[in-house]
Amino acid sequence: MTAEPRTPEEAAAEARRRAAEREYPVDPARLEALGADERGGLSRLQEWAAIEVSPDVVRSTRRAGAPITRLKRFLARMLLQYHNEEHAQITRFNVHLLGYVAALEERVAELEQRLERRE
């Protein structure tokens, strides 16, 4: 086990080292074996489109991080209007993108039906 990193640079280097040790092979056969429900779908994307951020997740993970956590929560509260507007813009974008994906999905289904009728 390695020593705990003391600086952000050491932590980043340690994270890169750990990531390099792992391999994430993509198996297309496994992806095809998954059903459409298991891969997700428009219903799951609709759930994910709306962004909800809880202020309770703002915290510091450092030793003696309580003062830092209080500072972060204070800053988050002071910037709440900005963050709400940003989340609203992101949510609008996600919803519009979801509508576009739904339209493309309908179009692909229609084209697949046309192709099956021709065969």
Report the alpha-carbon distance of residue 99 to residue 21 in Å, rounded. 39
pLDDT of residue 84: 87
pLDDT in tens, 52-69: 777 777 777 788 888 888
Q: What is the mean pLDDT of the chain?
A: 80
**Does residue 12 carry a pLDDT above 60?**
yes
Verdict on whether the full-model pTM lies above 0.85: no
Average pLDDT over residues 76-86: 89
pLDDT of residue 33: 61
What are 78's two structure tokens?
Answer: 């002071």
Q: Side-chain half-sphere of 20: how many Cα atoms within 13 Å?
A: 6
**Does residue 32 carry a pLDDT above 70?**
no
